[in-house]
Amino acid sequence: MGMTIGEKIIARAAKVPEVKAGEIHTVELDRLMSNDGTTHLTIDMFHNDLKHPKIADKDKLVFIIDHNIPAENPKTAEAHRKMRNFAREHKIAFYEGKGVCHQIMVEDYVCPGELIMGADSHTCTYGALGAFGTGIGCTDFLYGMVTGTSWVMVPETIRFELTGNLKEGVYARDLILSIIGMVGANGCNYKIMEFAGEGAHNLSINERLVLCNLAVEAGAKTGIVEPDEKVVEYVESRGRKAENLFISDEDAHFEKVYHINLDEIEPVVARPHLIDDVVPVEEVKDVKIDEAFLGSCNNGRIDELRLAAEILKGKKVHEDVRFLIAPASNEVYMQALDEGLIDVFMDAGAMVMNSNCSVCWGSCQGVIGEGEVLISTGTRNFKGRAGHPDSYVYLGSAATVTASAIAGKIVRR
């Protein structure tokens, strides 16, 4: 029996010829990433709970402050200082104010075939480059940090065979929300979502990032797009080597195979408070909004900013709407500045934030109040995700979010 992409990556990390779903293997980690959500807890355990604290390989560690930046209160400021000092002491790669953790990892680190664990659930983003990225808690992160290893129960793989092309006005965000709406928020629990076929190869790297990033919202262990020459071109353009471009064997076992024609995907939104309550945009009628958000690790890259600027140019954000835009990284921000996109946003009345998790995280920027409605390109719409427990979060594409910010209600572009 052959192996899937994910199984091949696990076998490489476990240093064994083959693995099968259900087996448990000890794996050597290629890299570990942690952000300011939980790193301070890991540091406390390192100092207080280990008899002989050590770091296996500092060069495999990356610490990134992105969730609450700038610090909004003294407690956060102390957590940031703890990260700063620990990174300095142990010579760990450290980023502060540079962007969202997953965007930075994709820009600076991720290579095909790697097994990467991150203390953030959306570490599955790295599958866009043919890597196996998965989220872990701070205790597992500590174990990986001091041993350089972890353990993995090999997941079953569900294959999404994509054909065709997304129509004009339809985006990867619509595709992955449609998939989650189809399979359900628990439809891929502890599975690998493998995206392959002609349609997958037609997608840009940015579109693949969008797909893999939300795999965890279907319960998946990770999402992986079958790597190709676009991955090689991207990785090499960033000064890294594109080795270990694994593809599934013809006789690999898949728990299930879905066939999806991209030509049939339409603009959609996920309604509060469930990410799998997905309907066509037109079905959401006369829902007035108080805030719109463009950004996050899912949808804050240059492609989305260009699209938003195209829609906004010569128009104004509705007088009753706060439109917050947060580029995913400083690199994206600077490119948007160079292209004049920030001017368009400011002229239209949008608020451009620093590169960070911002409204998606619902903690330090653009928090919404009781009864307020947000339409967002963030990752989640759980009850209370963006502020008050009695607020409402709709998820849509950059186009839907921007058009809605202008209209003052949820509309299709």
Could you tell me which of 328, 320, 277 has the C-alpha nearest to residue 106?
Answer: 328
Q: Where are the domains of the chain?
A: 5-262, 268-407
pLDDT (0 to 100) of residue 361: 85
For residues 325-334, give the mean pLDDT: 98
* pLDDT exceeds 90 at position 363: no
Nearest-Å Rg of the Cα atoms of the chain is 21
Could you tell me which of 295, 304, 297 has the C-alpha nearest to residue 324?
Answer: 295
Measured distance CA(360)–CA(387) in Å, rounded: 10
**Sequence-distant (≥ 6) Cβ neighbours of residue 147 within 8 angstroms:** 56
CA 267 to mean position of chain CA atoms: 20
* CATH number of 268-407, picked from 3.40.50.720, 3.30.70.20, 3.40.50.20, 3.30.499.10: 3.30.499.10
pLDDT (0 to 100) of residue 364: 82
Coil vs helix vs strand at 223: strand
**Sequence-distant (≥ 6) Cβ neighbours of residue 196 within 8 angstroms:** 159, 160, 161, 162, 225, 226, 247, 248
Does 188 show up as a binding residue in the annotation? no
Report the percent of the chain where pLDDT is more than 70. 100
Domain 5-262: homologous superfamily in CATH:
Aconitase, domain 3 (3.30.499.10)
Does 101 show up as a binding residue in the annotation? no
- Average pLDDT value for the chain: 97
Whether the link from the prior residue into 25 is cis, omega within 30° of 0, is no
3-state helix, strand, coil in the chain (%, to 5): 40, 20, 40
pLDDT digits (tens, 9 = 90+) for 266-278: 999 999 999 999 9
Measured distance CA(85)–CA(199) in Å, rounded: 46
For residues 342-350, give the mean pLDDT: 98
The encoded tokens of residue 365 equal 């920027």
pLDDT (0 to 100) of residue 178: 98
Let me know if the fold of 5-262 is the same as that of 268-407. yes
pLDDT (0 to 100) of residue 285: 84
CA 153 to mean position of chain CA atoms: 23
The string of DSSP letters for 241-263 reads: ---------TTB--SEEEEEEGG
Contact indicator for 169, 413 with CB cutoff of 8 Å: yes
pLDDT (0 to 100) of residue 123: 98
Could you tell me which of 1, 88, 3 has the C-alpha nearest to residue 43?
Answer: 88
* pLDDT exceeds 90 at position 362: no
Contact indicator for 101, 35 with CB cutoff of 8 Å: yes
Q: Where is average pLDDT lowest: 242-246, 283-287, 360-364, 370-374?
A: 360-364
pLDDT digits (tens, 9 = 90+) for 86-139: 999 999 999 999 999 999 999 999 999 999 999 999 999 999 999 999 999 999
Does 297 show up as a binding residue in the annotation? yes
The encoded tokens of residue 342 equal 């920030």
Measured distance CA(210)–CA(297) in Å, rounded: 8
pTM for the structure as a whole: 0.96
Q: Backbone dihedral region of 295: left (phi > 0), alpha (psi from -120 to 50 degrees) or beta?
A: left
Buried b (16+ CB within 10 A) or exposed e, 332-365: bbebbeeeebbebbeebbbebbbbbbbbbbbbbb
CA 137 to mean position of chain CA atoms: 17
Helix axes 205-213, 229-237, angle to 10 degrees: 100
pLDDT (0 to 100) of residue 172: 98
Contact indicator for 241, 260 with CB cutoff of 8 Å: no
**Sequence-distant (≥ 6) Cβ neighbours of residue 85 within 8 angstroms:** none
pLDDT (0 to 100) of residue 1: 84
pLDDT digits (tens, 9 = 90+) for 161-216: 999 999 999 999 999 999 999 999 999 999 999 999 999 999 999 999 999 999 99
